[in-house]
Amino acid sequence: MDVVQAVAEPRRREILRLIWNDELPAGEIAARFEVTFGAVSQHLKVLLDAGLVTLRRDGTKRFYRADRQALGPLCEFLRSMWSSKLDTLGRIAEEAEPNEA
């Protein structure tokens, strides 16, 4: 699965948000969702396989953190994809403003 597909799923984006600044154990991540631990574990595996998170094991616990460096190219891709849309939106907003004389 490629990076874009990995982050297309809303729960995976929420997981990335949760572990953007903090390393969290899988159980704590799973506790934030109204799905089974197994479902969250599958999402974490997809993110790990896509190279978007790092994994650290400590005994039986698994700790996850977003890999910001790996996400860098994704940010650039999204910026390039949306920049023309944002430019169009800005132009429409400017045209909708009443002209001041």
pLDDT digits (tens, 9 = 90+) for 48-64: 999 999 999 999 999 99
* Orientation of helix 10-18 relative to helix 37-49, angle to 10°: 80
pTM over 0.85: no
63 sits in which H/E element: strand 61-66
Q: Return the pLDDT at 64.
A: 97
More confident residue, 73 or 65: 65
Q: Which two tokens stand for residue 57?
A: 């094991």
Average pLDDT over residues 76-100: 67
Q: Tell me the C-alpha distance between 24 and 81, whole Å.
A: 31
Fold for the domain defined by 3-96:
Arc Repressor Mutant, subunit A (1.10.10)
